[in-house]
Chains A and B, each alone.
Chain A
């Protein structure tokens, strides 16, 4: 096979123009794919942040908590199993974007019971008020609750549910107010394109010892938009892969036609069919890899040029970018494979007598 590699390298070096043309086709398609992918990922991050603002896709609560109690954020003393968060992460794997643990505890504030929601995002010693609660308290100064004084921070945007009448504190504060550690709600945020209904079904079969609920955040519309985006990306990537394969297959076909006598001569000189096959496949593989590498670099550069903020998410995208030249190299080998096999199997005598 070393003779075949030597031949393939010599051929590429001696006749670079046709190989460069084929690599340019691959590079163009790859640049388009890489650029689209990067821009789509950037949009995905932005859209994800907006969707997160609408709330979690899935809520996981203790088994005894019913619908009306949940609507009032009244969990009572029920807690989730201590391994629930770990098992949710294991079950959803890569589809999980974020998992927020909450501890909700009812506290008397004046003449009413108010849900105090403990969240990791709230700074200790402060309280963020839902708009309805803020309006009722009307700038009453620091809150005194359970023997603690909490500075009032920002007032949250309206959510249209019981959160509007809740006080949001740090997780530790809520646990201290409850007098026990542990959490009674997990909020599941999914990656874009992952269907909440499917993720829910997986969590339900995982036997978490908890209720798995759909969050009320217009998820049908979200699923529709995200699903359409994912399908459009897959379709575009498929079309680009077909362009790459067709381009390389045409190049391999032309190459095989031109090198018919050369292949027959190699057979007469004692080359095994694998050597003849490799002269075409190796060339196409190298063109695919080179085109993929150039295209990925060009696509990334163009995408960053059009949206400089992409630089911040580039690190997260590098595995997909690194995969592109490998994929185009394999597509190159696959495109040339059938032509090369046919060439290696052809009776050499007719070509030798031309």
Chain B
């Protein structure tokens, strides 16, 4: 489903030198997997996530999503791929502050060109499923952090993406809300949703079915999650 082949990414540092964020990373992520990417701060976890999601082009190497090489596509087609095949969940939720919860969830559907009634129906369905339908008319500032992240997850799902990419989705949540988010991810994964989650929390990572540890931009470990190991 996702094939990452020899991906390197270097940045120009403000001091003038180069920083290597990813060093020849190769990974295969199958359909329906729940992969947690762990590592210390600056190990390249988020860079890998945004590279997979078609937001940040690698310096070298390739990323294939389904049958398409993401960075061989022209920018407009890559944007279309992000709308249809990829859903992003962010640590700071990144909800649009002046939109209501419902409008935030509708946003990717409207960007995709779906009609407003269709987008609204899809968004309402997800809000109901995630238990925040009663908060549909509230602005993000009026929601609890847990509700904001649920709205963020609903937004990432509204176009039925092939893969959900979550960047530290529990980083700003209290333990209870964090556990609820991971439960939700497990539930989605059980239904066949492919998930890649970046986290610095090793305990949460163990609830994924597969754990990859990055160190200095390179894959140092690739193993099943603890719950997966117990199950098998």
A contact residues vs B (CB 8 Å cutoff): 2-3, 6-7, 10-11, 14-15, 261-262, 264-273, 275, 347-349, 352-354
Contacts and interface: CB of A to CB of B under 8 A. Distances in A.
Contacts of A3: 107, 110-111, 113
A261 B79 CA distance: 17
A261 to B, nearest CB: 6
Interface stretch (B95-103, B178-186, B223-231): B95-103
Nearest to B82: A270
Interface string B131-160: 000000001000000000000000100000
B77 to A, nearest CB: 10
9 contacts: A7-B107, A262-B97, A269-B83, A270-B112, A272-B75, A348-B56, A352-B46, A352-B94, A353-B167
A265 to B, nearest CB: 4
Nearest to A264: B94
B111 A15 contact: no
Contacts, number: 81
Contact of A268 (B80, B82, B97, B112): B82
B90 interface: yes
Contacts of B96: 7, 262, 265
B102 to A, nearest CB: 12
Contact of B76 (A262, A264, A269, A272): A272
A269 B109 CA distance: 10
Nearest to B94: A265
Q: Which of A2, A10, A348, A349 has the most CB of B within 10 A?
A: A349
Contacts of A261: 92, 94
A6 B113 CA distance: 12
B228 to A, nearest CB: 29
B108 A352 contact: no
What 3 pairs between A and B have smallest CB-CB spacing?
Answer: A270-B83, A14-B98, A270-B82
Given A10-B103, A262-B96, A269 B88 contact: yes
B105 to A, nearest CB: 11
B184 to A, nearest CB: 20
A46 B194 CA distance: 79
A3, A266, A272, A354 pick with most chain B CB within 10 angstroms: A3
Interface stretch (B47-55, B64-72, B122-130, B205-213): B47-55
For the residues of A in contact with B, the DSSP-based class is helix
B20 interface: no
B103 A352 contact: no
A348 B55 contact: yes
B84 interface: yes
Using C-beta atoms within 8 Å of the partner chain, give the interface range for chain B: 20 to 34
A352 B107 contact: no
Given A11-B98, A15-B98, A270-B82, A349 B55 contact: yes
Given A270-B79, A352-B50, 5 more contacts: A2-B113, A270-B83, A272-B79, A275-B111, A354-B92
B99 A267 contact: no
Contacts of B108: 269-270
A270 B56 contact: no
B56 A269 contact: no
Contact of A14 (B84, B99, B107, B111): B99
A349 B47 contact: yes
Nearest to A273: B75
A100 B93 CA distance: 76
A349 B88 CA distance: 13
B94 A271 contact: no
Contacts of A266: 111
B46 A353 contact: yes
A272 B81 CA distance: 11
A330 B80 CA distance: 30
Contacts of B86: 270
A345 to B, nearest CB: 11
Contacts of A265: 88, 90, 94, 96
B90 A352 contact: yes
Contacts of B139: 14
A268 B103 contact: no
A269 B107 contact: yes
A270 B46 contact: no
Nearest to A5: B110
Contacts of A353: 46, 167
Contacts of B47: 349
Nearest to A4: B111
Nearest to A347: B56
Contacts of A347: 56
Given A2-B113, A261-B94, A10 B55 contact: no
A155 B79 CA distance: 83
A262 B96 CA distance: 6
B79 A349 contact: no
Contact of B82 (A6, A264, A269): A269
A10 B82 CA distance: 23
Given A267-B55, A349-B56, A6 B88 contact: no
